[in-house]
Amino acid sequence: MVALTAPPVERPAEPRRRNKPSRRLSPLLLAFVLVPLAVEAFWVFWPAIQGVYLSFTNWDGISPPTNVGLGNYTEMATDPVFGKALLDTVIWLVLFGGVSAVGGLAMAIFLQRERRGVGIYRAALFTPVVFSLVATSLIWQAMYQPDGLINNVLGGLGLESWQRSWLSESGTALYAVIVPALWRQVGYVMVLYLAGLKGIDPVLYEAATVDGASKWQQFTKITLPQLKSVNSVVLSVIVIDSLRSFDVVWSLTKGGPFHSSELLSTYMYATAFQSLRLGYASALAVVIFLLAFGVIVTYLVRAFKESDS
């Protein structure tokens, strides 16, 4: 066999690009970049930086702030309410995040295949997302009342001993607040996963079926790895949503009774606008920011490393 050794062809010099972009940016383009940047800087970055500055001060919102250095942060170490709020936030993150991720994925898989009437179920699960959380809270508040729907149903079933003042007992308040939040979040996560599932090439499943893979193997070896990119979105959404969960807690319990459903977000609000200790509240806000940022960055770094290797 004749080896076709083509003489090394002098590679032609890079052809001159015909449409060399002009060095000058079009003013319109510049405006598209700079105007939103300016708006963002004014409405987001500047207040955020001010918040960090305030976290090193003592400020009542009226007189000029006085510098206290790290005083607000050292106070947190000995503040029992901060400890309780941090613990509740972790419980919230795990329960709210875990259940909504697993529940959302399960619902998405369940409702993925086109069947008759499946649209109705999807719509039903997604409907709570459309409601404002405050409206949602009002409905749930009525159900949780001492003589509300839940206790009436329990009474009707002969389970009087299970009846509680759900929102005003320290043992049940936090969990009673998580339920309405979950009721809403599951639908949202389901939609994200549905989108991810639609993006998986059906050929993969066909090949797996031909190879005799079981449903469970298909799920663990195809579905989950293929959903990796959606997972990172879901995780970010869940972490951010749990750390900023405020409206539902504030409208149902205001973090009470006696701080038993206190989250970092509600504690921050109460410190700022009820106790008027805006410096300490800013320090709490910085902690919330670091937590959210930390969790998400760690995850993203790991995700990128995995995709590189």
Partner 1 sequence: MSIDGLSRRNFLAGLGGLSAAAILGGCATSASTGTGQAGGAVTLQSNLSAPLPKAAMESVVAAFNKKGAAQATLNTVASETFRTQLPSYLTSGNPPDLYTWYAGSVGRSYAKKGLLLDLSDVWSGLTDYSAATKTLSSDDSGKQIIVPITYYWWGMFYRKSNFAKWGVQPPTSWDEFLKVCEALRAKGIEPIGMGAGGTTPWVASAWFDYLDIRINGATYHRELLAGQHRFDDPQVKAVFAKWKEVLPHFDKSATAIPFQDATTSLLQGRTGMMLIGTFFADAAPKDALDDIDFFQFPIIDPKVPIAEEGPTDGFFASAKTPRGPEVKEFLKFLATPEAQELFIKNSAGTVLPVNPKAKDSGTPLVAKGRKMLADAADITQFFNRDSSDALQPTADAALLQFFAQPDQVDSILATWQAAAEKVWQS
31-90: contacts with partner 1 (CB under 8 A): 39, 43, 58, 60-63, 80-81
Would you say 276 or 290 has its CB closer to partner 1?
276
Would you say 45 or 273 has its CB closer to partner 1?
273
Q: Are 159 and 218 in contact (CB under 8 A)?
A: no
| Residue 58 backbone phi and psi in degrees, to 5 | -110, 120
- 3-state SS assignment for residue 193: helix
Residue 195 within binding range of partner 1, rule CB under 8 A: yes
266-295: contacts with partner 1 (CB under 8 A): 270, 273-277
121-160: contacts with partner 1 (CB under 8 A): 122-123, 141, 145-146
Q: Are 128 and 187 in contact (CB under 8 A)?
A: yes
Amino acid identity of residue 272, one-letter, is A
Query: Cβ 40 to partner 1, closest distance in Å?
Result: 11
Would you say 183 or 280 has its CB closer to partner 1?
280
- Kindly write out the interface string for residues 169-188 of this chain, putting x where it contacts partner 1 by CB under 8 A and - elsewhere: xx------------------
Query: Cβ 22 to partner 1, closest distance in Å?
Result: 27
Residue 95 DSSP label: I
Residue 236 within binding range of partner 1, rule CB under 8 A: no
Q: Which of 18, 115, 116, 198 binds partner 1 (CB under 8 A)?
A: 198
Q: Which token pair is 47?
A: 């207040």
Q: Which of 91, 168, 221, 233 binds partner 1 (CB under 8 A)?
A: 168
Amino acid identity of residue 201, one-letter, is D
How far is it, in rounded angstroms, from Cα 143 to Cα 154?
Answer: 12
Would you say 183 or 193 has its CB closer to partner 1?
193
Q: What is the Cα gyration radius of the chain?
A: 27
Q: Helical H runs in the chain?
A: 27-40, 46-54, 71-78, 80-92, 98-110, 118-130, 133-144, 149-156, 173-198, 202-210, 215-218, 224-226, 228-243, 247-252, 264-273, 278-308
- 3-state SS assignment for residue 147: coil
Burial letters for 259-280: b for 16+ Cβ neighbours within 10 Å, e otherwise?
Answer: bbbbbbbbbbbbbbeeeebbbb
Would you say 184 or 277 has its CB closer to partner 1?
277
Would you say 121 or 293 has its CB closer to partner 1?
121
Query: Cβ 57 to partner 1, closest distance in Å?
Result: 11
Would you say 60 or 206 has its CB closer to partner 1?
60
241-260: contacts with partner 1 (CB under 8 A): 254, 256-259
Report the DSSP beta bridge partners of residue 66.
58
Residue numbers at the binding site for partner 1 (CB under 8 A)? 39, 43, 58, 60-63, 80-81, 119, 122-123, 141, 145-146, 165, 167-170, 191, 194-195, 198, 254, 256-259, 270, 273-277
